[in-house]
Amino acid sequence: MNKISVAIVLYNNDINELNIAINSAINNSLVEIIYLIDNSEKNTLSSLQNINKEKIKYIFLNKNVGFGTAHNVAINLSQESKFAYHLILNPDVEFD
């Protein structure tokens, strides 16, 4: 079965809301990696990578490059890693 990569773009988000979205994605057996692309000015959300250091790659951009450009960073990483599928996930999404 093909594994997928997931990207969540961050910008000064509520950490509790992000925990829900991240854990929801991590608990899906199809998810191989989650790219957290942080557009915030400070890397206060970097602790999110500690949820699962094997499945989460935190990328701090140190500036707001925008939603699309930040997702392009993750898409490029996904393509380099040869994932067949990539999911763009909003930080307020939760699924079973």
Q: How far is CA 8 from CA 1, 42, 54, 71, in A?
A: 23, 17, 16, 8
What pLDDT does 1 receive? 59
Q: Does residue 88 register a pLDDT over 80?
A: yes
Contact assessment for residue 2 and residue 12, using Cβ atoms and an 8 Å cutoff: no
Q: Does residue 8 register a pLDDT over 90?
A: yes
- Those residues whose C-beta lies under 8 Å from the C-beta of residue 89, and which sit 6 or more positions away, are 6, 7, 8, 21, 25
> Mean pLDDT over all residues of the chain?
94
Q: Does residue 2 register a pLDDT over 90?
A: no
What pLDDT does 65 receive? 97
Tell me the per-residue pLDDT of 37-81, one tens digit each, with 9 for 90 and over. 999 999 999 999 999 999 999 999 999 999 999 999 999 999 999
